[in-house]
Copies of this chain bind each other. A is one copy, B any other.
Amino acid sequence: MHTTEELQQKISDLFDTLNYMSEPQELYEPIQYSLSQGGKRLRPLLSFMACSLYGGKIEEVTNAAIGLEIFHNFTLLHDDIMDKSPLRRGMPSVYKKWDLNTAILSGDTMFVVAYEYVTNTKAEYLVDTLKVFNATAREVCEGQQYDMNFETQKITTIDNYMEMIRLKTAVLIAAALKIGAISANASKEEQQRIYDFGILIGLAFQLRDDYLDAFGDQVVFGKPIGNDIVTNKKTYLYLRAYELADAQKTIMLNEAFNINDSSKKVKEVLGIYNELNIRTETENIITKLYDESFDLLQNVDRPEEEKAAFYSFLKKLIKREV
């Protein structure tokens, strides 16, 4: 089995060698730009880790892993249009740097390129890999739609929110792990186990993102603190606060979320969050997901020391320390 550091290095080297440029350059330059910005390459790493955990050769999952990373970047590119996000990883997003049409069409082309890589999967794993990839791609689109629906819905429940982040974020993390298991010829039962494990990890990962927006260290987090509050984003924290608030606190929340001055708004909302114990509430649910994922991993049919290394990395991941 490879160490996580070895796999991270392999992925970094791999992506450094990839070149997406072709003609017409108006189409491919934004793809090259988008895929050269780096990011954590988390999804291919998870595929490599799962493949390695189940005793497979990482060469078998390399093409699908690249496909997953390109697919992920394609969704970010189109999401940035839909969410009107001017920045991605500190750089202008594609629709801002070029224009709407370029972002639509370059995104579509990235999606094809992702499928080209997946298609190069070894014949014996191809159909299973494609089926996971297709189902996941569809679910990620559904998740984005639910996310957009939330913007205009008056009432969003925590159940609906958890389902949205399952679709938008967790399924792709779970799929990356499952595709790694497929490429290692793991049993259907193990494929499902690592997938279910991935869902729990993916949910925890997203909730940690919500948590850090309010309670994180700006330097570590890499984004301005309180951005979700400023934009009235319906995060777990927001929804849980309204769930726990009595009539008086509900009015206070409404008033705080209507404040125009950003820093005053963040301060006021955080004040109410603290009174409602939202920090501990969120820590508790993350811990619960983390405990459940650990229970699932216990049943994975692999040597304990290999599972331990695997889990140790994912624990850091949830804490967003990697």
Contacts and interface: CB of A to CB of B under 8 A. Distances in A.
Given A101-B148, A145-B24, A149-B26, A115 B127 contact: no
Interface in A248-297: none
Copies in the complex: 2
B104 A26 contact: no
A116 to B, nearest CB: 5
Contacts of A115: 115, 130, 134, 137
Given A104-B104, A111-B108, A127 B119 contact: yes
B142 A27 contact: yes
A111 B149 CA distance: 21
A149 B24 CA distance: 9
B78 A105 contact: yes
Nearest to A145: B27
A105 B144 contact: yes
Interface string A25-39: 011000000000000
Given A108-B111, A119-B130, A127-B123, A142 B23 contact: yes
Q: Which of A23, A24, A111, A137 has the most CB of B within 10 A?
A: A24
Q: Give the dominant DSSP class at A's interface.
A: helix
B141 A108 contact: yes
Nearest to A108: B141
Contacts of A148: 26, 101, 105
B119 A105 contact: no
Nearest to A133: B115
A234 to B, nearest CB: 16
Contacts of A142: 23-24, 27, 109
Interface in A186-243: none
What 6 A-B pairs have minimum CB-CB distances, sorted nearest first?
A: A27-B145, A109-B141, A82-B101, A112-B137, A112-B138, A119-B130
Given A78-B105, A101-B148, 11 more contacts: A78-B104, A81-B104, A100-B100, A104-B104, A105-B145, A108-B108, A109-B138, A112-B141, A113-B138, A116-B134, A119-B134
24 contacts: A24-B145, A24-B146, A26-B148, A78-B104, A78-B108, A81-B104, A82-B101, A82-B104, A82-B105, A107-B108, A108-B108, A108-B111, A108-B141, A109-B141, A111-B111, A112-B137, A113-B138, A115-B115, A115-B134, A116-B134, A116-B138, A119-B131, A119-B134, A126-B127
